[in-house]
Amino acid sequence: MKKITVPDIAGMKAGGRKIPVLTAYSFPMARILDMAGIPMFIVGDSVGMVEAGYDNTMPVTMDEMIYHSRAVARGRTYALVVTDMPFGSYQTGMDEARRNAARLVKEGGAEAVKVEGGGRMAGVIRAIADMDIPVMGHIGLTPQSIYRMGGFRVQGRLDAEGERIIEDARAVEEAGAFSVVLEGIPAGLAKEITGALKIPTIGIGAGPHCDGQVLVVNDMLGLNPDAHLPKYVKQYADLKGEISAATARYIKDVSEGIFPSEEHSY
Ligand code: KIV
């Protein structure tokens, strides 16, 4: 298969082809998903919630993002790797934003970075894109804004809020982003934004009319032990069930002296 690039992703919208995206955080998962044909990974700061057990994404650091991004980049041969800029790595000044974006590329193997926020982040998006680092925007329900939003709440239900999100989408495109995640917004609003933009929209909790769709891989595969799944998630496997059953069999085999046997001995 041919390596996917940023222009290929833009070409998928132009060609009317939907863009399937998954998050990835580790080498083995990236390898499996890449071999299955996923064209784009987001190394999301959701890693803090689904892999490190934090309540939200705020504590995730640059060093943690670099570690996970590098593992994913090593695991893929085909998919485009887009890595999240974590909270505090780009809001504190253009130089800091540029330096951190460059670290994600140099040390994390990212081919693009993702920045949360609309119009207010346009300057940051432009500054990073001017370094020839492709930028993915992220608007609507932006998890790094949970303290302002009062939690993980659907955005844009009111007309005025919807108008602001449309302006955010335009600002992100004008600033030079190559695509934009639309998270937690009504399907009708996502449809309007998708029709208005030239760059691809990647939805999560944004209905069926986006150019692409992303899910957190742990949600998609049923790997979250306790979490309540949001309404927008479709679970395609029950890995939690598979792992529990396999572990129970292992415990039984070892307890009963069935494993290891001669077959597994030197
Ligand atoms: O952090 C994340 O995983 C994300 C994607 C779900 C878009 O931002």
Judged by DSSP in three states, 88 sits in coil
For the question of residue 116 being annotated catalytic, the response is no
- Tell me how far the alpha carbon of residue 58 is from its chain's centroid: 15
Q: How many CB atoms lie within 10 A of CB 18?
A: 12
CA 44–ligand 1 middle distance (angstroms): 4
**Dist CA 85 CA 238 (whole Å):** 30
CA 15–ligand 1 middle distance (angstroms): 25
| CB of 45 sitting under 6 A from ligand 1 | yes
**Dist CA 193 CA 168 (whole Å):** 10
Q: Does residue 175 sit in the same domain as residue 255?
A: no
Residue 206 sits at φ, ψ, to 5 deg, of: -130, 15
Question: Among the options 183, 192, 242, 263, which is catalytic?
Answer: 183
| Domain presence at residue 43 | yes
CA 3–ligand 1 middle distance (angstroms): 22
Q: Does residue 258 sit in the same domain as residue 127?
A: no
**Dist CA 59 CA 39 (whole Å):** 29
**Dist CA 39 CA 29 (whole Å):** 14
Eight-state DSSP code of residue 107:
T
Would you state the structure tokens that stand for residue 175, as one six-digit string? 């600033």
Q: Does residue 85 sit in the same domain as residue 130?
A: yes
Facing residues of 182 across strands? Answer: 139, 203
CA 217–ligand 1 middle distance (angstroms): 10
CATH at 214: 3.20.20.60
Can you give the pLDDT at residue 76?
97
| Domain presence at residue 1 | no
Point out the ligand 1 atom lying closest to the alpha carbon of residue 183: 7
Can you give the pLDDT at residue 225?
83
Q: pTM of this prediction? A: 0.97
| Domain presence at residue 110 | yes
| Domain presence at residue 41 | yes
Q: Does residue 170 sit in the same domain as residue 203?
A: yes
> Are residues 173 and 197 in contact, defined by beta-carbon separation less than 8 angstroms?
yes
Q: Choose the residue to mutate in 56, 113, 136, 204 for probing ligand 1, maximizing ligand atoms within 8 Å of C-beta.
A: 204
| Domain presence at residue 51 | yes
Q: What domain range is 99 assigned to?
A: 6-235
Residues with Cβ < 8 Å from 261, sequence gap 6 or more? none
Q: Does residue 256 sit in the same domain as residue 212?
A: no
Residues with Cβ < 8 Å from 37, sequence gap 6 or more? 1, 78
Provide the residue-wise pLDDT of the chain in tens; the chain has 266 residues: 899 999 999 999 999 999 999 999 999 999 999 999 999 999 999 999 999 999 999 999 999 999 999 999 999 999 999 999 999 999 999 999 999 999 999 999 999 999 999 999 999 999 999 999 999 999 999 999 999 999 999 999 988 999 999 999 999 999 999 999 999 999 999 999 999 999 999 999 999 999 999 999 999 999 988 768 899 999 999 999 999 999 999 999 999 999 999 999 99
Q: Does residue 164 sit in the same domain as residue 244?
A: no
| CB of 204 sitting under 6 A from ligand 1 | yes
| CB of 116 sitting under 6 A from ligand 1 | no
- Counting the structural domains of the chain, the total is 2
